[in-house]
C-alpha cells in the first residue's frame, strides 16, 4: 500500500553525487562508548550532496512516517514487512529530497510561502492534500471545512496528557504533508525547467530526416563458431588475464554469508494460561458490580474504554448478539478464544444516534467573548447565522463559507469531545456554545444523518502472553545451549537437545529479514562482524531468541 506519493523522476537531476554507507547495515549500534568525536562520526549514516545525514534525523523521519501511516490506514501496529517498506521509503525520499534541494539551490529555484499556502489551504489545493482521508467529508471526498477543522484542532490548548500527545501527532502529520507538498511543487518546477531546456534544433531535425532517407543493400557470409576447430585458435595466458581484468567488474558480486541457527520461540507455557484463567475469574465479579468501569478496564484491558458507541457493523463479531440483545448492566463472559480472555458489560443500551452531524460556527477570540450572548440571542430571534459568521467569526476560512465546518463523524479521535458530545445530543438548527482558552465558539447543527441503533460497551480483553518467568526459562535454555559452543559441536548438541537447526543462505549486508525471524538486522550485523566458524551468543528479542554460527563468508 502506498503511504507516500514519492518525488519522481530524479533521473533529470543530471549531476548528483551521493556517497553513503550501506544504511540498513550501520543503523544498528551507533552510540557505543568511546570518544565523543568518534561517536559523532559514527552517527553519520550517509553523505548526500556534501550534507551529512545523522542517524537521529533518519530515525525521527521513520517515526514520523510511521505515525502518518497509522493515521492514513487506521492501524495501530505495523508488521515487519511494512516497517521495512516504510524505512526504505523514508530513505529513498530523503535521498531524493536532498539531491533535489541541492540542484534547485544551484539555479535559485524555490517555493515561496504564499505559493505553498495556496497549495495547502488556498484556492489551488494540491492533490496530495485532497487525497487524504483525514480531510474527507461524509461522502468520502475532500472537504475544505474538514481541513479547516483539522487545522483549528492543532491550536487547541491540551487539557490532559493524552490530548497533548494527540495534538503533537496531528501536528507531525500535517508537517509531513506540508514538506511533501513543498518538495512535490519544487520537483514539478525543476522537471518543467529541464524539459523546456532540452529541445531539438534545426540541424538535429535535418540529420534525423536525412538519415531515414539513406538505405543500402548488403550481402554477407556467416561461419558459425562451432565450425571452427579448437586447434585452429590459440589463446595465451596473458590474453586470458587481460580479458579478465577488463571485464571482471561486470561480474562482481556483493559479499554474502550463510548461517545455521537455532530459534527459541517465546510463547506462553501452561502455567501462564493457568495464571491468566485465575486472574480473569478473580476480576469477573468486580467487573460486574464496579461503578468505576473505565478505571477497572483501562487498568487491566488490552482495549481502552473511551465511552465509544458501537453499531452493528463496528461491534466485535462475537459480541454482536449479546450487545444488541441485552440490556444496560448485562455482562458477557469471561470467555476464552484465540489465547484471549474477554468480558463485556453493556453500559447503555437502546441508543438511537446519528453517525455524522454537520456543523457551522462563529469563533470569537477572548477579546470579543462579550458579544457571544448577543449573537446567540440574535440567532434565536431569526438572524442569519451565515451572515453573522462572515461578519464576526475570527476563522476566515470558515467565515467566508458562512461558518460551515462540515460533517463530523461519531467516534473519530482528535476532535474535541465537548463539541461532539454536544453536537450529537442536539437537534437540527439547535445552537450551543463551547468555551475554552482560545475563545468562544457559537455552534449550530445544520444537519444529521438518520439515527441508528447503538450500544455503549465496556470490553475487558486480555491476551495470554509469556510471563517474565517463562521468558527467563526460555532465555536460560538458549544461554545454556550457547555456552562454550563451537561450530563443530553446533549441530550435534542441538540434535541431542531436540532443537531444530535451520540454514539461512545468501545473506547480504542489505538483507532486512532472515526466514520468518523478526528484527533480523541484529543477526545480519553480527554475521558481517564475525568470521567463518564463529558462534554467536544469544541474540534475543521478542518473540524469538536465536543462537547461530557462521557458515561461510
Least confident segment among 21-30, 131-140, 322-331, 480-489: 21-30
H/E stretch holding 350 reads strand 340-353
Q: Is 218 part of any domain? A: no
Tell whether 184 and 317 lie within a shared domain. Answer: no
Alpha-carbon distance 29 to 31, whole Å? 6
Tell whether 436 and 531 lie within a shared domain. Answer: no
Least confident segment among 88-92, 197-201, 413-417: 413-417
Q: Please tell me the predicted confidence (pLDDT) of residue 29.
A: 38
Tell whether 361 and 386 lie within a shared domain. Answer: yes
DSSP 475-520: HHHHHHHHTT--TTTHHHHHHHHTPPEEEEEEEETT---BTTBTTT
Tell whether 393 and 373 lie within a shared domain. Answer: yes
Q: Is 250 part of any domain? A: no
Whether pLDDT at 76 is above 90: no
Q: What is the mean pLDDT of residues 157-173?
A: 86
Alpha-carbon distance 398 to 149, whole Å? 9
Q: What is the mean pLDDT of residues 16-22?
A: 31
Q: Please tell me the predicted confidence (pLDDT) of residue 543.
A: 52
Tell whether 106 and 57 lie within a shared domain. Answer: yes
Higher-pLDDT residue of 306, 282: 282
Q: Is 225 part of any domain? A: no
Least confident segment among 32-41, 169-178, 274-283, 447-456: 32-41
Whether pLDDT at 10 is above 60: no
Residue that is last in its domain, among 422, 437, 463: 463
Per the structure, the complete domain to which residue 176 belongs is given by 10-194
Q: Please tell me the predicted confidence (pLDDT) of residue 30.
A: 36
Q: Which three cell numbers stand for residue 85?
A: 517498506
Confidence of residue 549 (pLDDT cuts 50, 70, 90): low
Q: Is 247 part of any domain? A: no
Contacts within 8 Å (CB) and 24+ apart, 116-120 = 116/178, 116/181, 116/182, 116/185, 119/181, 119/185, 120/178, 120/181
H/E stretch holding 256 reads strand 256-265
Q: Is 52 part of any domain? A: yes
Of 335, 338, 339, give the one whose Cα is nearest residue 268: 339
Contact in structure between 90 and 179 (CB atoms under 8 Å): no
Q: What is the mean pLDDT of residues 402-415?
A: 76
Rg (C-alpha) for the chain, rounded Å, is 33
Give 86-133 pLDDT, tens digit per residue.
Answer: 888 888 888 889 899 999 999 899 999 989 988 998 888 899 998 888
Mean pLDDT, rounded, of the chain:
83
Q: Please tell me the predicted confidence (pLDDT) of residue 166.
A: 85
Tell whether 435 and 476 lie within a shared domain. Answer: no
Confidence of residue 147 (pLDDT cuts 50, 70, 90): confident
Beta-strand pair 309-310/431-436:
unpaired
Tell whether 187 and 330 lie within a shared domain. Answer: no
Q: Is 1 part of any domain? A: no
The residues, any chain, with a CB within 8 Å of residue 214's CB and separated by 6 or more, are none
Least confident segment among 50-59, 289-298, 356-365: 50-59
Sign, CA dihedral 115-116-117-120, equals positive
Tell whether 85 and 16 lie within a shared domain. Answer: yes
Alpha-carbon distance 316 to 177, whole Å? 33
Tell whether 349 and 476 lie within a shared domain. Answer: no
The CATH number of the domain holding residue 373 is: 3.10.50.40
Give 353-400 pLDDT, tens digit per residue.
Answer: 898 899 999 999 888 889 999 999 999 999 999 999 999 998 877 888
Q: Please tell me the predicted confidence (pLDDT) of residue 23.
A: 35
Q: What is the mean pLDDT of residues 167-194?
A: 91
* Number of domains, the chain: 4
The residues, any chain, with a CB within 8 Å of residue 379's CB and separated by 6 or more, are 385, 388, 431, 442, 444
Give 298-332 pLDDT, tens digit per residue.
Answer: 999 988 888 888 999 889 999 999 999 999 999 99
Tell whether 321 and 362 lie within a shared domain. Answer: no
Tell whether 434 and 479 lie within a shared domain. Answer: no
Q: What pTM value is reported for the model?
A: 0.58
Q: Is 241 part of any domain? A: no
Residue that is last in its domain, among 433, 463, 493: 463
Q: Is 90 part of any domain? A: yes
Tell whether 369 and 502 lie within a shared domain. Answer: no
Please report, in angstroms and rounded to a whole number, the separation of the first and last CA atoms in the chain. Answer: 36
Residue that is last in its domain, among 414, 432, 463: 463
Cα maximum dimension of the chain: 111
Amino acid at each position: 500500500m502506498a503511504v507516500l506519493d514519492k518525488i519522481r523522476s530524479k533521473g533529470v537531476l543530471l549531476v548528483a553525487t551521493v556517497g553513503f554507507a550501506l544504511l540498513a547495515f550501520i543503523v544498528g549500534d551507533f552510540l557505543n562508548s568511546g570518544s565523543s568525536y568518534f561517536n559523532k562520526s559514527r552517527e553519520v549514516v550517509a553523505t548526500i550532496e556534501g550534507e551529512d545525514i545523522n542517524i537521529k534525523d533518519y530515525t525521527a523521519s521513520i517515526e514520523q512516517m510511521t505515525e502518518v501511516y497509522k493515521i492514513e490506514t487506521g492501524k495501530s501496529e505495523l508488521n515487519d514487512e511494512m516497517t521495512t517498506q516504510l524505512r526504505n521509503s523514508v530513505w529513498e525520499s530523503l535521498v531524493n529530497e536532498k539531491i533535489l534541494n541541492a540542484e534547485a539551490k544551484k539555479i535559485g529555484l524555490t517555493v515561496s510561502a504564499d505559493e505553498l499556502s495556496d497549495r495547502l489551504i488556498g484556492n489551488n489545493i494540491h492533490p496530495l492534500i485532497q487525497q487524504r482521508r483525514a480531510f474527507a467529508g461524509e461522502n468520502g471526498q475532500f472537504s475544505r471545512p474538514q481541513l479547516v477543522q483539522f487545522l483549528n484542532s492543532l491550536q487547541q490548548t491540551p487539557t490532559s496528557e493524552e490530548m497533548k500527545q494527540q495534538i503533537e501527532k496531528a501536528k507531525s502529520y500535517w508537517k509531513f504533508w506540508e514538506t511533501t507538498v513543498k518538495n512535490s511543487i519544487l520537483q514539478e518546477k525543476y522537471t518543467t525547467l529541464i524539459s523546456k531546456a532540452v529541445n531539438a534544433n534545426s540541424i538535429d531535425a535535418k540529420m534525423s530526416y536525412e538519415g531515414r532517407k539513406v538505405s543500402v543493400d548488403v550481402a554477407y557470409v556467416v561461419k558459425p563458431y562451432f565450425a571452427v576447430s579448437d586447434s585452429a585458435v590459440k589463446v595465451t595466458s596473458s590474453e586470458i588475464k587481460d580479458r579478465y581484468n577488463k571485464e571482471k567488474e561486470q561480474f562482481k558480486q556483493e559479499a554474502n554469508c550463510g548461517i545455521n541457527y537455532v530459534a527459541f520461540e517465546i510463547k506462553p507455557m501452561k502455567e501462564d494460561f493457568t495464571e491468566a484463567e485465575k486472574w480473569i475469574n478473580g476480576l469477573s465479579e468486580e467487573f460486574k458490580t464496579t461503578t468505576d468501569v473505565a478505571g477497572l478496564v483501562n487498568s487491566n484491558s488490552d482495549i481502552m474504554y473511551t465511552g465509544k458507541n458501537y453499531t452493528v457493523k463496528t461491534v466485535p463479531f462475537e459480541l454482536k448478539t449479546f450487545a444488541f440483545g441485552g440490556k444496560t448492566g448485562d455482562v458477557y463472559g469471561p470467555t476464552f478464544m484465540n489465547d484471549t480472555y474477554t468480558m463485556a458489560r453493556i453500559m447503555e443500551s437502546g441508543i438511537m444516534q446519528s453517525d455524522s452531524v454537520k456543523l457551522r460556527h462563529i469563533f470569537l477570540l477572548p477579546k470579543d467573548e462579550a458579544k457571544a450572548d448577543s449573537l446567540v440571542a440574535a440567532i434565536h430571534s431569526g438572524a442569519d447565522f451565515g451572515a453573522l459568521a462572515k461578519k464576526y467569526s475570527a476563522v476566515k476560512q470558515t467565515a467566508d463559507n458562512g461558518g460551515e465546518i462540515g460533517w463530523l463523524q461519531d467516534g473519530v479521535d482528535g476532535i474535541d469531545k465537548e463539541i461532539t458530545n454536544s453536537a450529537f445530543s442536539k437537534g437540527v438548527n439547535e445552537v450551543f456554545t463551547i468555551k475554552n482558552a482560545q475563545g468562544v465558539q457559537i455552534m449550530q447543527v445544520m444537519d444529521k444523518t438518520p439515527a441508528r441503533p447503538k450500544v455503549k460497551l465496556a470490553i475487558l480483553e486480555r491476551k495470554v502472553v509469556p510471563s517474565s518467568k517463562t521468558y527467563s526459562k526460555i532465555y536460560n535454555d538458549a544461554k545454556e545451549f550457547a555456552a562454550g559452543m563451537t561450530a563443530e559441536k553446533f549441530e550435534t548438541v542441538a540434535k541431542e537437545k531436540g532443537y531444530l537447526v535451520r540454514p539461512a543462505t545468501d545473506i547480504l549486508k542489505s538483507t532486512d529479514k532472515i526466514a520468518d525471524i523478526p528484527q533480523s538486522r541484529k543477526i545480519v550485523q553480527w554475521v558481517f562482524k564475525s568470521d567463518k566458524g564463529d558462534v554467536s551468543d544469544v541474540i534475543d528479542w521478542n518473540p524469538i531468541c536465536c543462537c547461530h554460527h557462521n557458515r561461510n563468508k
